[in-house]
Amino acid sequence: MTEPAAGLVVVDKPAGLTSHGVVARVRRLAGTRKVGHAGTLDPMATGVLVLGVGRATRLLGHLMLTEKGYAATIRLGVATTTDDAEGEVTATAEPGAVAAVDASAVRSVLAGFVGEIDQVPTAVSAIKVDGKRAYQRVRDGEEVALAARRVTVHELAVGDVRRTAADGVDVIDVDVTLRCSSGTYVRAIARDAGAALRLGGHLTALRRTAVGPYGLAEAHTLEQLQETYAALPLADAARAAFPARDLDPREAGAVRVGRALDVPLDGLTALFAPDGEFLALYEPRDGAARAVAVFC
């Protein structure tokens, strides 16, 4: 089988499937084992999962650093071991405590998460602690204490705030949308908002709406990909995700052998040959434009 051209596949991940499960499906569809993803989604979560095929896998580490968009539902009044609906319930708020919190208080607390914040990741994250994933340590019965990390929530909009009951417990469900930096845990925002309101909190739904420039409009379900395999060509993917610079033949020749260039760049930049071929990612460093990754 001829290996498919390098490119990005933007998947609308279904609930109940791991990110690695999506990679396995796309490997079969693309006819190659060289498939990776730009940041995982929990099995409960749905939405945009960006996969790289062939040489495009080398773009993924850089795409992981871009901002992401989410739509989520936070449930206030119940805390869980995983800060989402898949965990075991650890605490429930008294009905009177839930009744005492109004929508304006909920909106005020959530507004406090906009901007740069120090966030402690959820204990069941994929962060490594002494070489072992945090979630694996939790599963093995270990106590896990993760250090706070500085993240940025660029925007957090609160939609519907509604009172309901879940398993006989009074709760408040809150719909939110947000844009945030890579490494932000929306589950941790739910947890911390619940703690601030002294109710406890967790996520009941999470949908990733964007990874950098790639959104749901570009995403395909696995069923659609089964019918028609569709990958964004490597050059198009690079132009969409990074600032672009078109080179003259001399400059392109230098890039092909990995040489530094005496050209001004504004951060990490995708460089293209005169014929449109994507050559490399370069960045300004030590007074010149230098290679970060070469693709030609």
Rounded Cα distance between 143 and 257, Å, is 50
Distance CA 199, CA 101 (A): 9
Q: How many C-beta atoms lie closer than 10 Å to residue 82's C-beta? A: 21
Q: Using alpha carbons, select from 274, 276, 273, 265 the residue that is nearest to residue 292.
A: 265
Distance CA 258, CA 281 (A): 10
Angle, CA 7 vertex, CA 227 and CA 151 arms, to 5°: 110
Known catalytic residues are 42
Provide φ and ψ at 30, rounded to 5°: -85, -15
Q: Contact at 8 Å (CB) between 199 and 98?
A: yes
Contact call for residues 124 and 109 (beta carbons, < 8 A):
no
State whether the Cα torsion 259-260-263-265 is positive or negative: positive
Distance separating alpha carbons of residues 234 and 270, to the nearest angstrom: 11
Q: Measure Cα distances from 59 to 3, 62, 63, 116 in Å.
A: 18, 6, 6, 26
- Distance (Å, rounded) from C-alpha 205 to C-alpha 177? 12
The type of residue at 288 is: A
Residue 210's alpha-carbon distances to 42, 103, 222, in angstroms, are 15, 28, 17
